[in-house]
Amino acid sequence: MSDNPKYIQTVALRDVKCFALHGYYPEEQLTGIYFMVDAVVTFEPDNDTEDLLHTVNYEVLNTIILEEMKRTQKMLETVVKNILDRVVERYPFVHSAEVGIRKLNPPMPGQIGHSFVQLSYSNPTTKQ
């Protein structure tokens, strides 16, 4: 084992439930539907584990998610990219980040639990 172990920390929010007006069809943007959002971020932690300035603050992640879910978009692909872009901008030291959105009970024939869109980011300047 190395004398200097390398730690990779994960900070995540799972199942952030939001009511939003996202949807390709105009009626979806009128009636709205519930979504569940996941955000997972990895990074090399600072030695000072008691300072919010040296980590990814999941309260900030939650704020970003809630703000972007309020901005109506036709495509969930746009929403996940907007969330991911804001996370990476706020925390440029992250190694990787992943955002997924589930549309609960999408309005389609049959019984569908959820549809799902996910996007991942890998920082080319950090080594894992």
pLDDT tens track for 71-124: 999 999 999 999 999 999 999 999 999 999 999 999 889 999 999 999 999 998
Name the residue with higher pLDDT: 126 or 24.
24
- Quote the pLDDT of residue 128: 52
38, 17 Cβ separation under 8 angstroms: no
Percent of the chain with pLDDT over 70: 96
Q: Tens digits of per-residue pLDDT, 8-23?
A: 999 999 999 999 999 9
The total of other beta-carbon atoms located within 10 Å of residue 69's CB is: 22
- DSSP category for residue 45: P
Structure tokens belonging to residue 35: 């979504």
Of 4, 91, 87, which Cα lies nearest the Cα of 54? 91
Of 120, 64, 112, 115, which Cα lies nearest the Cα of 89? 64
72, 26 Cβ separation under 8 angstroms: no
Give SS3 for 17.
strand
pLDDT band at 127 (very low <50, low <70, confident <90, very high): low
